[in-house]
Amino acid sequence: MSALSSIKVESNYTGTFSKQDSVSFDTSLWAATNGTINWSDYPNQVPYAEQDVFHTQLTHTPGLSSDIGWTIRIGKGGQIYYIDVQGLGQITCPQRSFSAWNDDCMTTTVYSAPESNKDTQMGGNDSFANGYIHGSGMYVKPQMDPLNDKPLYCPLLAEEFDIRDRSYSMINWGLVPKPNINRGDVLFYSRYRDMGNGVLELTFYCYNFGNRTYNFAETPWWAVRPSKFPSMIEGINGTSSFKITNKTFQSGAIPSSGGWGAHTVNPSDPNSITCALVWGSASTGTGVNFGFVDKGVRDMSLIAPSYSQLNLPYGTGFCYRRYAVLGKLKNVANICADLNKHALLKIIEFPASYSGRLPLYTSTLESQNILSSSPGGSLVGYTYPIPIKNSLPLLLMKNNDTGDYFLSTDPYAVCGKLPFANPYPVGHAKYATYQNKHIYQIYDGKTEWVSLLGFVKQTSTSGFADPGYQLLTDIIGSIPFVAGEKLDAEDLMVPI
């Protein structure tokens, strides 16, 4: 995330910021009925609980009378799945059994057209050809594949807690949310920064290292409970003025020019506890879905700024920055107006000249030779620490069937591949599209995604490094490399 630091807004540093890796869990917060799920109603699912999604907790303790305390919990997939606001309690929605802490929380998604194949022969909403990537993880869909019987969250590849910056950053591999014949070759970078005075800065970067072009993104999907916040308001032209907009989500979007929107307890009370999201009034190409989804069992209202002018082919990335603002309505409205100009969304293509070099060292793990970015062994070479244009991530992975660690640029390298039966007859216009396909069973437990070791580039000529580079084979020695469906090691190069 250091590549995005140059566009930071200074914090006022009120209060304190801390990280907790062990917490207690309250089941009553989550299920749709009194905090319990009768798992006998779901015989094909493995029961889950909050400890299955929990990764870490971040807490802001207030320091001024105008400040407000908050606690968020970050899931294994990088998503904010829990927000506790001082004076109001936990505000994130209860969870549905098939999408636990994947949908009804704070997450990013990217889509490629067509978004999904809606032909009934492909299974309708449970299509094996969905074209979107989920920034939290996979749904539970045993009806599509019996092995997909429990939640799987986007694998965590790197993380950093920076107490001086008051931030926590993660890199996750984004997943297609259902058993699928399409690949999810994207990385999601997430940074959560405490700016004090109730402000949580959200910075995200998505890098595409696959063949699909993405043209739409949710930036982000921001859902809370209307039982906590009975009213919704929208900002007016990026100012601290606002209007009440208690509409249903299905009745259409609101203008993006307002720059911010909020959930609040009482819009007529300046002291009403409020949760706002700032997307910025200058957000060209942004539409804002807004409103109450369900005031009953699902208990969900939503603000979802979406970007419909995305053009994200292989080797490129995009960044967006939003602000969550918590506190009393009178303070929140003023803060939103101040932050309006700092929200952003932009395509970023990092040239090699922008990047430094990431040193790699020899190391061992479970008595096996591996490469590591942590100093300790012999320095063997370098990769790029950031995703420069047209680069591939170098991953350290483990084959759980054999216990072997290996390197690859393909996160699907050793997962199961279930043959896909072509639903179309020979001669049909779609037959060729779905012939010789397989479903990627990344949920089969065969793979552990251990760490990200930077980024590598393809050689211009197979087996020969370009000037200023050396072949990847020159630095990995005898450490196994599994190409999967990507390039082999002799076709990849790293900077000297």
Query: Along the 496 residues of the chain, how does pLDDT read in single tens digits?
Result: 444 444 567 666 689 999 999 999 998 899 766 677 889 999 999 999 999 999 999 999 998 888 899 999 999 999 999 999 999 999 999 998 899 999 999 999 999 976 556 676 777 778 898 889 999 999 999 999 999 999 999 999 999 999 999 999 999 999 999 999 999 999 999 999 999 999 999 999 999 999 999 999 999 999 999 999 999 999 999 899 999 999 999 999 999 999 999 999 999 999 999 999 999 999 888 999 999 999 998 999 999 999 999 999 999 999 999 999 999 999 999 999 999 999 999 999 999 999 999 999 999 999 999 999 999 899 999 999 999 999 999 999 999 999 999 999 999 999 999 999 999 999 998 899 899 999 999 999 999 999 999 999 999 999 999 999 999 999 999 999 999 999 999 999 999 9
Q: What HEC string does the chain produce?
A: CHHHHHHCCCCCCCCEEEEECCCCCCHHHCCCECCECCHHHCCCCCCCCHHHHEEEEEEEECCCCCCCCEEEEEECCCCEEEEEECCCEECCCCCCCCCCCCCCCEEEEEECCCCCCCCHHHCHHHCCCCCEEECCEECCCCCCCCCCCCCEECCEEEEEEECCCCEEEEEEEEECCCCCCCCCCEEEEEEEEEEECCEEEEEEEEEECCCCCECEEEEEEEEECCCCCCEEEEECCCCCCEEECCCEHHHCCECHHHCEEEEECCCCCCCCEEEEEECCCCCCCEEEEEEEEECCCCCEEEEEEEECCCCECCCEEEEEEEEEEEEEHHHHHHHHHHHHHHCEEEEECECHHHCCCEEEEEEEECCEEEEECCCCCCEEEEEECCCECCEEEEEEEEECCCCEEEEECCCCCCCEEEECCCCCCCCCCCCHHHCCCEEEEHHHCCEEEEEEEEEEEECCECCECCCCEEECHHHHCCCCECCCCCCCHHHEEEEC
Domain boundaries for CATH 2.70.98 within the chain? 2-348
CATH architecture for the domain at 2-348: Distorted Sandwich (2.70)
Check residue 14 and give its pLDDT.
82
Check residue 4 and give its pLDDT.
45
Alpha-carbon dihedral sign for residues 28, 34, 35, 36:
positive
Check residue 5 and give its pLDDT.
45
Check residue 37 and give its pLDDT.
84
Check residue 115 and give its pLDDT.
57
Check residue 290 and give its pLDDT.
97
Q: Which two tokens stand for residue 234?
A: 């929208």
Check residue 11 and give its pLDDT.
66
Strand order in the sheet with 368-372: 368-372, 358-365, 379-383
